[in-house]
Amino acid sequence: MDSARSLSYKNKGKGTIINLEQGKIPPQAIDLEEAVLGAMMIDKKGVDDVIDILHAEAFYKPAHQFIYEAIFRLFENSEPIDLLTVSNQLKKDEKLEAIGGDFYLINLSQKVSSAAHIEFHARIILQKYIQRKLISISSEIITNSYDETMDVFDLLDEAETKLFDITQGNLKKSSEAAHNLVTQALKKIEEISNQEGMSGVPSGFSKLDQLTSGWQPSDLVILAARPGMGKTAFVMSMAKNMAIDFDMAVAIFSLEMSSVQLITRMISSETGISSEKLRKGNLETYEWEALNVKVKKLSDAPIFIDDTPSLSVFDLRAKARRLVSQHNVKAVIIDYLQLMTAGSSTKSSGNREQEISTISRNLKALAKELNVPVIALSQLSRAVETRGGSKRPLLSDLRESGAIEQDADIVSFIYRPEYYGLTEWDDDERTPCDGQAEFIVAKHRNGGLENIRMKFIGRLAKFANLDEGFETEFQSSMNAGQISPDNFTSANDAFGHLEKDDDVPF
C-alpha cells in the first residue's frame, strides 16, 4: 500500500481507525489541467477554443494558474503562443522557477499531441472550480451563521451576492449561427401573425399597444414622472388590464406602498367606487353588491405583489426568477427604481449615481435572463418644476443617473397639464386637457416615438383609453347587474362625472 494512504488515526476511546483515503479533498482535475495547458502551447486553435471559457483561478494547481496567466497575457498582446514564448513570459513575471522551470513546461507539451476535445476538457475544469467555490462559500456561510453578531439579512444578502457572482462570472452564453437565429425569427414572426401583430405583453391601452406591439420580452421599460403625476396609478391600471383582460400573470414589487394599499386601488379601479369611499367603508347597498360582483374577477387574477422595503437588486432577481418559474409571470413591475439598493457589494463604495447605474444595468440583465419585460418606475429631477412653459419632461430630467436612459429600451413619461394648473393642451387646436394625461415615449430602441393621450380618472386612481367615456363604464355596470334603473340617481352620484374628478395624491 502507498505510504501516504497507509496513514491512519486511531481513536483510543472507541478503537475506530480512520484512513487518509476516507478524507475529502477539493474537487479537481489535475490531469485535464495539464492536457489543456499543453494543448494551448502546441496548437493555436486550442487557445481560441478555451480563452473565453477559463480564467487563471479556475485551475487548482498554483503552477497551472501562473502558466495560464502567462498564456493569457501573450494572447492579449497578440503575440505568438508556444513553449518558448510562454517560458519567456514566465521569466518576465518571475514565475518560471515557481512552476518548476522549463522542464515542467516541456513535460506539459509532451502530454498531448493535439487540441482535440480541449473545449470539453476546459468545461470540466470550470465545473470543478465552481464546485470548489460553492464549497468555500458554503463554509463561510456556516461560519458566519454561528456568529451571533451578524445581521441575518446581511448574511442572506452576502450569500446571494456571492452565488450571483459565480453565475455571472462563469456561465457564459456562446454565440449562435445565423441559420438557427433566422429559424427562430421566422417562427416568432409566424406566431405574431396569428396574434394580430401583438408580439409582446399588451398594456390594455390601444394606441400604446399599436406603437409597441405590446411590451417586448427582455426589454427594460422606464416610466418616469414627477411625484403626483400618476406613475403608480398607470402601472396598476396596466397590471389589471394584463391580468384580467388578457389573463397574463404579473409580478409587482412595491417599495413605496403596501400590498393592501395597492390592491385597494385596483378594487377602486375595477368597481368604479372611489378610493376614499373604500377607505372609509361608507358604501351604499348597491355599491356593496357591485363590490362583491366585480372583486371576484380581481381575486382570481394572476397578480403577485411583493411590498418588501429597500429591496436589493439581488433579492429582486431571486424573487422574480421564482415567480417566473412557478407562476409563468409575463411582466415584472418595480415601483420604484430609486428606492432599490444595489446590495452589500456596493454599500461601502461609490456614490448614489454609481449605485443607480448598477441597479439599472442589473434590471436590464434580469429582463434578458428571464425573457420578460421589466417595467421600472423612476423619479424625475426638480428641473422640470423650474422650467417655464408647459413643463413637459425631457430625457435629461431623469434623476441621479444617465445610465437609466442608456440601459433602457424604452423611456417614457407621464405628463398631466392639469397638475400645473393648465387648462389646454399646448397644440394648435388648444383642446381642453381636463381629466387627461399624456404618455410620452421619449426613447424607443426598436420603434417610433409618440405622445399618446389617455383619460385620467383621479378619484379612481385609474388610466383608460381616451375614447372610453362614462357611458361605457356605466353601461358595463348595468350589464353586469350591479346597478338597476331604480337606483340610477344614486349610482350616478357614486360614479360622478368621470372627466371632472379631483386628483388624488400618489
Helices 30-42 and 62-76, axial angle in degrees (round to 10): 30
Which residues are paired to 18 by β-bridges? Answer: 9
What nine digits make up the cell of 489?
Answer: 340617481
Q: Cα separation of 475 and 84, whole Å?
A: 86
Return the closest-CA partner of residue 495 out of 472, 464, 463.
Answer: 472
List Cβ<8 Å contacts ≥24 apart for 42-47.
42/82, 42/83, 42/109, 42/112, 42/114, 42/115, 43/114, 43/115, 43/118, 44/81, 45/115, 46/115, 46/118, 47/71, 47/75, 47/81
| CA contacts within 13 A on the Cβ side of 79 | 14
Instruction: Give the max Cα distance, the chain.
Output: 101
Say whether 256 is catalytic: yes
Q: Are 455 and 499 in contact (CB under 8 A)?
A: yes
Given 119, 140, 160, 256, the catalytic residue: 256
How deeply is 178 buried, as exposed, middle or buried, from its count of CB atoms within 10 A (0-12, 13-18, 19+)?
Answer: exposed
Number of Cβ atoms within 10 Å of the Cβ of 205: 23
Query: Omega of the bond prior to 60 within 30 degrees of 0, cis?
Result: no
Helices marked H in 328-469: 352-370, 383-386, 403-407
Catalytic sites, residue numbers = 256
